[in-house]
Amino acid sequence: MDLHGRSAIVTGGAGGLGAATVRHFVGIGVPTVIVDRDEAGVQSLAEELGPLAVGIPGSILEEADVLHAIEAATGLGTFSLVANVAGGGTALRTVARDGTPHSLDEFRKVVELNVVGTFNVSRLAAAAMSQNEPDADGERGVIVHTASIAGIEGQTGQVAYASAKGGIIGMTLPMARDLASAGIRVMTIAPGTMGTPIMKSVPDEMMQKFVAGIQFPKRLGEPGEFALLIEQIARNPYLNGEVIRLDGALRFPPK
What CATH number does residue 72 fall under?
A: 3.40.50.720
| Residue pLDDT tens, the chain, 255 long | 999 999 999 999 998 999 999 999 999 999 999 999 999 999 999 999 999 999 999 999 999 999 999 999 999 999 999 999 999 999 999 999 999 999 999 999 999 999 999 999 999 999 999 999 999 999 999 999 999 999 999 999 999 999 999 999 999 999 999 999 999 999 999 999 999 988 888 898 888 888 999 999 999 999 999 999 999 999 999 999 999 999 999 999 998
Measured from the Cβ of residue 29, the count of other Cβ atoms closer than 10 Å reads 12
**Residue 79: closest CA among 25, 43, 36:** 25
Residue 253 within any structural domain of the chain: no
Q: Distance between CA 186 and CA 182 in Å, rounded?
A: 11
pLDDT at site 209:
86
The Cα-based distances of 20 to 63, 112, 138 in angstroms read 25, 24, 29
- Active-site residue, selected from the candidate residues 25, 107, 161, 226: 161
114 phi/psi in degrees, rounded to 5? -80, -55
Segments in the chain forming alpha helices (H): 16-27, 39-49, 63-74, 104-111, 117-129, 150-153, 159-179, 197-200, 204-212, 223-235
Domain of 13, in residue numbers: 6-246
pLDDT tens digits for 218-238?
A: 999 999 999 999 999 999 999
Report which residue type is found at 90. T
pLDDT at site 160:
98
Residue 160 within any structural domain of the chain: yes
Residue 60 within any structural domain of the chain: yes
Residue 254 within any structural domain of the chain: no
The Cα-based distances of 63 to 82, 118, 206 in angstroms read 15, 12, 39
Residue 83 within any structural domain of the chain: yes
**Residue 90: closest CA among 113, 107, 115:** 107
Active site residue 161: yes
Segments in 213-254 forming alpha helices (H): 223-235
Sign of CA dihedral 101, 206, 245, 137: positive
Residue 177 within any structural domain of the chain: yes
Q: Distance between CA 248 and CA 221 in Å, rounded?
A: 8
Enumerate the β-bridge partners of residue 145: 84, 188
Query: How many independent structural domains does the chain possess?
Result: 1
Angle CA(145)–CA(212)–CA(115) in degrees, nearest 5?
A: 20
Residue 45 within any structural domain of the chain: yes
Residue 16 within any structural domain of the chain: yes
